[in-house]
Amino acid sequence: MDTLNLVETFAEFKEFKNIDRETLMRILEDVFKNMLIRKFGSEDNFDIIVNIDKGDLEIWRNREIVEDDEVEDENCQIALSEAMKIEPDFEAGEEVSEEIKMADFGRREILSIRQNLVSKIQEFEKDNIFKKYKDRVGDIVTGEIYQVWKKEILILDDEYIELILPKSEQIPSDFYRKGDTIRAVVSKVDIRNGNPVIILSRTSPVFLERLFESEVPEVYDGLITIKNIVRVPGERAKIAVESYDDRIDPVGACVGMKGSRIHGIVRELKNENIDVINYTSNISLFISRSLSPAKMSSVVIDEENKRAEVYMKPDQVSLAIGKGGFNIKLAGRLTGYEIDVYRDTDIDNEDVDLNEFSDEIDQWIIDEFKNIGCDTAKSVLALEIEELVTRTDLEEETIKEVFKILKAEFE
């Protein structure tokens, strides 16, 4: 392998590995300097000239001309008689430069140079990838799915760098095929067995935060601040926002006209319900807002133990808890308080919405009572059975059975 082929090989290699010209030149010089040190003991008196564009590399050794009997170091000095073979006009004290050809090195040395170049370039690539993505932790990246496995997905970015999306970082309803385009946030960058591993996430609150930044200009510009985000990926999320400009409604800006801004985010998150809440330092009011859409009657705050006892009308309790208990869990995580919900037991307000009895009373019967304006247990019990028979399409036995169930609630 001659010099030309050696350099051309790595000029082509750099195109695939996206290594810039200056970097490849530096790597080539370092590898050849190390080779010269091993062969000659020093590289101080050598000039290495690399021209990547031409696929050209030259090595010149500079030596001082001394009298034939004064040579002490053959690497740095050359006998006058030897120098005159190169150029008859040379005299002692002058300097001579000779080109070192690849033919002067053995096959084993050339193979060693090649292996070192491959190793150096791979090290550079790994280091470059690590540094690039270490600086991008928390940023959204877009890539193409290359391989789908049971526990993770392999994604390639636009530079064909491999990214990993573990199953634990996928939204439960996510479904992907090879070739699909995917967006996720860079969660962390590790080194495993000497190789950089870039981990992505679609379940991280940071992913939701970056989506808001991309969809809501006021968030991106810092006019609206995201104070906190909590999520149950694919199910529900709550985000507390605040604006220091009184002219900006932070909730309205995040939702957009007729939900135009938030709809894109919801679709990206596989129809995850997102509650946007106006942040306040008033903890009672913040807890009240965080339990949206439920409305509370009162709250007792225990700041020392970070607990809150919330009282609300019976028909609001199920709303506060939410499907699967997600609403109250997320409200607690958003506010930092352990929230306990109680029915409001104030004597004047002690009543129960008829919907609370849906597990004991058929819905069509409840609807009959609601049609005549009776939507709570006490409003039904306040009327005579005969009157209810007259005003509804219910039979007397049915009404008596309902009375029995409703009275048992208060007993």
pLDDT at 206: 96
Cα 6 from Cα 11, distance rounded (Å): 9
Q: Each residue of 66-90: pLDDT tens digit?
A: 887 777 777 777 787 777 877 777 7
Farthest-apart Cα atoms in the chain, separation: 136
> CA-CA distances (angstroms) from residue 272 to 167, 215, 229, 232?
18, 16, 13, 9
With residue 79 as reference, give the H or E element that holds it. Answer: strand 77-79
Can you give the pLDDT at residue 348?
A: 45
pLDDT value at position 265? 94
For position 223, what pLDDT does the model report? 93
CA contacts within 13 A on the Cβ side of 401: 11
Q: What angle do CA 307, 310, 316 make, to 5 degrees?
A: 145
Provide the whole-model pTM: 0.65
CB contact at 8 A, 341 and 321:
yes
66 touches 80 (CB < 8 A)? yes
Q: Which amino acid is at 197?
A: V
Q: What distance lies between CA 187 and its chain's CA centroid?
A: 4
Q: Which residues of the chain have pLDDT under 70?
A: 1-21, 51-56, 102-106, 110, 345-350, 411
- What per-residue confidence (pLDDT) applies to 2? 47
Residues 229 and 208 sit within 8 Å (Cβ to Cβ): yes
Closest CA to 316 of 352, 275, 264: 352
Q: How far apart are CA 390 and CA 397, in angstroms?
A: 13
What pLDDT score does 119 carry? 78
> Looking at residue 392, what DSSP letter applies?
S
Distances from the Cα of 303 to the Cα of 45, 108, 288, 396, angstroms: 75, 75, 16, 52
